[in-house]
Amino acid sequence: MRLALLPTLILLALAPLAQAQTPAPATTAPAVDASKPLAVVNGKEIPALYGELVKREMAQGQPDSPQLDARVRESLINLELLSRAALDKGLDKNPQLAAALDIRRKDQLTKAYLEDYVKAHPVTDAEIQATYDKAKAGPVEPEYRARHILVKTEAEAKKIIADLGKKAKFEDLAKKYSQDPGSAKNGGALDWSNRGAFVKEFSDAMASLKKGETTKAPVKTQFGYHVIRLDETRQPQFPPLDAVRGEITRQLQQQRVRDAIAAARADAKIE
């Protein structure tokens, strides 16, 4: 879990102003002294820590460089000056702004609390193994390899079904008539997929077929009318634990978050 600590878009918007005002820095950035302020603006220090936090947000995959350090420093100076100007005008007393600031503060505190909770309740190897074993023992959704021909009207689909009844080849009709450019050139062939890869009307019709069988009536979906043939089904291989360990860990961490929220709500009086 990574905490989004600062309003990145505002900082990025202020940074170009700094580039125009600041001479090009040396090619080698000096080491940051955490005991010294990043800058002093009208007598107020900007701690070096602020620079490290802002750099994390502004970097966006950029390598550490003197140019980035300069952008961070100047954007924080601009932020200090403009926020001070807003306070001098009393803008912080505006109810909507005050509410927005309060929500942002609570949001950051909440993220920090949940990050701390997950860290204090680490996911164990035993939990990962138990979750994996439970999933492996459960039912596995079969995968299907099918072909389809997609046309615009029901009449077109019915004619294709009639032609198939006259021994026309499915693959040839798909190449000639199908409006699905991804599969038409391959004779209507679709990749191995489970039912979740298709819209419900299509998946229900496909799953009801036996191997080698074609739908007897057009199947209407949001895309048009389909004629579907089921070529094969298979039970997918369950992945090894190491291949899904990261995903299982993330799922269990998300459960930790839900546990923390549930615990907080359990002791609360909510009206």
pLDDT digits (tens, 9 = 90+) for 96-133: 999 999 999 999 999 999 999 999 999 999 999 999 99
Cα 73 from chain centre: 31
Lowest mean pLDDT: which of 32-46, 84-98, 101-115? 32-46
Do 156 and 145 touch, CB atoms closer than 8 A?
no
Percent of the chain with pLDDT over 70: 87
CA nearest 150: which of 221, 65, 76? 221
pLDDT value at residue 53: 83
pLDDT value at residue 18: 43
- Residue 182, class by beta-carbon neighbours within 10 Å (0-12 exposed, 13-18 middle, 19+ buried)? exposed
Half-sphere exposure of 168 (CA within 13 A, CB side): 18
Pairwise CA distance, residues 188 & 202, whole Å: 14
Pairwise CA distance, residues 153 & 224, whole Å: 7
pLDDT band at 28 (very low <50, low <70, confident <90, very high): very low
**Cβ-Cβ contacts under 8 Å for 256 (sequence gap 6 or more):** 117, 118, 121, 123
pLDDT value at residue 27: 39
Burial track 42-56 (b if 16+ CB lie within 10 A, e otherwise): eeeebebebbeebbb
DSSP 226: E
Do 227 and 176 touch, CB atoms closer than 8 A?
no
* Residue 19, SS3 per DSSP: helix
Give the highest mean pLDDT range of 15-24, 30-39, 213-222.
213-222
Do 198 and 217 touch, CB atoms closer than 8 A?
no
Helix (H) and strand (E) counts for the chain? 10, 5
Give the highest mean pLDDT range of 7-16, 35-44, 50-59, 205-214.
205-214
CA nearest 145: which of 217, 221, 235? 235
- Whole-model pTM: value is 0.62
Is the pLDDT at 81 greater than 90? The verdict is yes
For the packed helices 66-88 and 8-21, what is the interaxial angle rounded to 10 degrees? Answer: 110
Lowest mean pLDDT: which of 69-83, 122-136, 222-236? 69-83
Pairwise CA distance, residues 237 & 234, whole Å: 9
Pairwise CA distance, residues 153 & 232, whole Å: 27
pLDDT value at residue 105: 94
* Residue 259, SS3 per DSSP: helix
